[in-house]
Amino acid sequence: MVNPVVALNAVNLTTATGLLAARVAGCPITSRDGYWEATGYRWRFPDAGAFTIGCVVISRQPVPAAVWEHETSHMRQYALLGALFWPAYGLAAGYSLLRTGDWWSRNVFERRAGLAAGGYAQNPVRRLRRARKRPSAGTAAGAVTA
């Protein structure tokens, strides 16, 4: 029986994109649990030990089982969203950066995949500053005038 995540990510072309990215980055590709693993990634971006494109986990070195599980959660997210995963992830990362100062703590994709399994330390939410109200002329009761 065909794994539906593999089938969907084949149709939405995210796995093909991941295989191409791994090839361009010079990472050897092997199979793991019915998916693909590409190791030896050396580029600076993204700044992560591992990342997933479609059903391809690209990493600097082979990932432990917990991280692999985290990355397979991202595969399911790709299966739901296809290429829309990228802008959606970018928005979620931006929201997290605004609220916590990092791109993962309040990023719904990372939270659903499991922050601890992904090796992320969760930072607390920061209070958003309220814009200060400027006193407007004529409404300031008791204003002192010279």
- Residues at the interface with Zn ion (CB under 5 A): 110, 113, 118
Q: Choose between 93 and 137: whose C-beta lies nearer to Zn ion.
A: 93
Extract long-range pairs of 97-100: CB within 8 Å, 24+ residues apart: 98/128, 99/125, 99/126, 99/128, 100/124, 100/125, 100/126
What CA–CA distance (Å, rounded) separates 77 from 89? 10
Q: Choose between 21 and 113: whose C-beta lies nearer to Zn ion.
A: 113
Q: Would you say 125 and 106 are in contact if contact means Cβ atoms under 8 Å apart?
A: yes
Q: Choose between 37 and 110: whose C-beta lies nearer to Zn ion.
A: 110
CA atoms within 13 A on the CB side of 99: 16
Report the sign of the C-alpha dihedral through residues 47, 49, 52, 56, in that order. Answer: positive
CB of 120 to Zn ion, least distance (A): 8
What CA–CA distance (Å, rounded) separates 43 from 64? 20
CB of 110 to Zn ion, least distance (A): 5
Q: Choose between 75 and 113: whose C-beta lies nearer to Zn ion.
A: 113
CB of 12 to Zn ion, least distance (A): 19
What CA–CA distance (Å, rounded) separates 98 from 106? 9
CB of 43 to Zn ion, least distance (A): 17
Q: Choose between 54 and 118: whose C-beta lies nearer to Zn ion.
A: 118
CB of 74 to Zn ion, least distance (A): 5
Q: Of all residues in this chain, which one has the CB nearest to Zn ion in the complex?
A: 118
